[in-house]
Structure 1
Amino acid sequence: MRAVVLVEGPSDRVALEVLARRGGMDLAARGVRIVSMDGITNIGHFLTRHHADAPDVRVCGLYDDAEERFVRRGLERLGVEVGPEPGRAALAERGFFCCSADLEDELIRALGPAEVVLLVEAQGQARSFRTLRRQPALRDQSLHDQLRRLMSGRSGGKERYAAAMAEAVPWAQVPAPLAGVLAYAATAALPR
C-alpha cells in the first residue's frame, strides 16, 4: 500500500471510488486505499495507527468545513506542522482537503440543484422529496438545502446520492477537494 485516504464516512468513500473509476485510476493497482473512519472524531486514532503501522504510506483525506479542528489536532499530535489556525492551505499541502460545507454541498453546487432534482427523480424519490419540501421546518429553505436534508434523512441516502452525483458531475466540474485528494493520493501511488 502506498497511500491511504481517510474519509469521514461511507458516502465520501463511495464518491471518491466513483470519481477514481471515472478518471481511470485503479485504486487497488496503485496501492491506494480509501478508509471510512466512522466519523471525523476518529481521525487521531487513524492517523496514529497508519503512521505507526506504515510510516512510508502517504496519508491524506477529506474533511467537512466545521471539522477542521479535529484534522489539525490529529496532525499536530503526530508532530506535523500545520500553521496558524485557521489554515486550509497548510492542511491541503499535507493532503487534507476541506469540503465546504460537506461532500453533499460540494456535489450539489457542482451539479446545480436542478440537475440534482433530476437525479432524485431517477432514484424514484420525487414524491418523497415533494413531501419533505412541504414540511414547515423546510418550506423556507433553499432547494439546495432541501436536497441536502433529503440525502441525510434516510439510511443509505448519503451513499446512494454521493454515488449518483459523482457519476453525473461533468469531469471539469468535479469539486476541488475531491479532485485534490485523489491527485494527492495518486502522486504517492506512482511507481518508485
Structure 2
Amino acid sequence: MGVDERLAAAHPFVPSADARAVVLVEGISDQVALEALAERRGRDLDAEGISVVPIGGAQALGRFLNRFGPQGLDVRLAGLCDAGEERDFRRALERAGLGSDLTRAEMERLGFYVCVADLEDELIRALGAASVEQVVAAQGDLGSFRTLQKQSPWQGRTIEEQLRRFMGSGGRRKIRYARLLVDALDLTHVPRPLDLVLAHVGRELTSAR
C-alpha cells in the first residue's frame, strides 16, 4: 500500500449527505487528480452531488460497495483503479452482485475504469516526458530527479520509468504532483480512464433527471 492509500485509510473521507454519485478511487492522489480535472473541465462536483472517495487501497472496495451500492445507500457508483488492482476490483464488484465473470468492457459499462499501469503512468504518457520534466523543474525538484536517475537501479531505464518512480517516492510527492500534472494537461489529450470515469457519472446523473 502506498503513502496516499495509507493516508486515505487513516483518514476516511466522508461524502456529503446529499451525494447522488460516488467515484471510488484507491488513494488521495487519484482523488486530487479527478477533482482537478473536473475543475479544468468547468464542472462543480459538489453542485452536481458527486463525491470522489479514496478508499485506502483496492482491498477495501467491497466495504465501500456495501456502503454505497444497492445494498446500502444505493447511490450511483463509478471507480478508478491501477492495472495491478483490476482483479481485486473485479472480484469486489462480482461479490457485490454487480455482475459475474466481468470483462474490462463490462466493468467500464458499470463505470469502473482501469489505468494502463497507474495514475502516474497515464499522466506521464499524456503529457510526454519533456513536459513532465518542465513541471518537475518548475517545482525545484529537478536536482532530486537527477539524483534518482544516477542511482544504479534506475540507470538505463527509460525516462518515463524514472519519472514514474520519482512521482511515487518522497512521501507525499505523489499527491502533490497529481494536481500539478493534471493542471499541465492539454485538455484534448486527457488520459482515457480519467476522462471517462468523470463523463460516466455526469452522464448517469443527467439521464436520471
Normalised-by-shorter TM-score class: over 0.9
Structure 2 counterpart of 1:2, which letter? R
Structure 1 counterpart of 2:150, which letter? R
Rounded to whole Å, the distance in 2 between the matches of 1:82 and 1:23 is 34
Rounded to whole Å, the distance in 2 between the matches of 1:116 and 1:181 is 23
From 105, 114, 125, the equivalent of 1:98 is 114
Deviates more, 1:29-38 or 1:41-50: 41-50
Note closer, same or farther for the CA distance 1:67–1:15 as it changes in structure 2 (3 Å cut): same
Which structure has more relative contact order (CA 8 Å, sep 6+)? It is: 1
Question: What are the residue-to-residue correspondences of 1:5-154 with 2, within 5 Å?
Answer: 5-51=23-69, 52-55=71-74, 57-84=75-102, 87-154=103-170
Unaligned runs of 5+ in 2: 1-18
Q: Is the 8 A contact 1:2 1:188 kept in 2?
A: no
The alpha-carbon deviation at position 2 of structure 1 amounts to 1.2
Q: Is the 8 A contact 2:94 2:101 kept in 1?
A: no
What is the aligned-residue identity percentage? 47
Kindly report structure 1 stretches of 4+ aligned residues shifted beyond 2 Å: 188-191
Q: Secondary structure at the match of 2:188?
A: helix
From 144, 162, 166, the equivalent of 2:178 is 162
The alignment's C-alpha RMSD in Å is 1.1
Q: Is the 8 A contact 1:64 1:99 kept in 2?
A: yes
- Name the TM-score, length of structure 1 as normaliser: 0.95
Structure 1 counterpart of 2:190, which letter? V
Unaligned runs of 5+ in 1: none
Deviates more, 1:3-12 or 1:182-191: 182-191
Determine the structure 2 residue equivalent to 1:173: 189
Structure 2 counterpart of 1:136, which letter? S
Rounded to whole Å, the distance in 2 between the matches of 1:151 and 1:180 is 23
Q: Is the 8 A contact 1:10 1:159 kept in 2?
A: yes
The alpha-carbon deviation at position 82 of structure 1 amounts to 4.5
The alpha-carbon deviation at position 187 of structure 1 amounts to 1.8
From 201, 204, 207, the equivalent of 1:185 is 201
- Name the TM-score, length of structure 2 as normaliser: 0.88
Rounded to whole Å, the distance in 1 between the matches of 2:170 and 2:49 is 33
Rounded to whole Å, the distance in 2 between the matches of 1:161 and 1:82 is 36
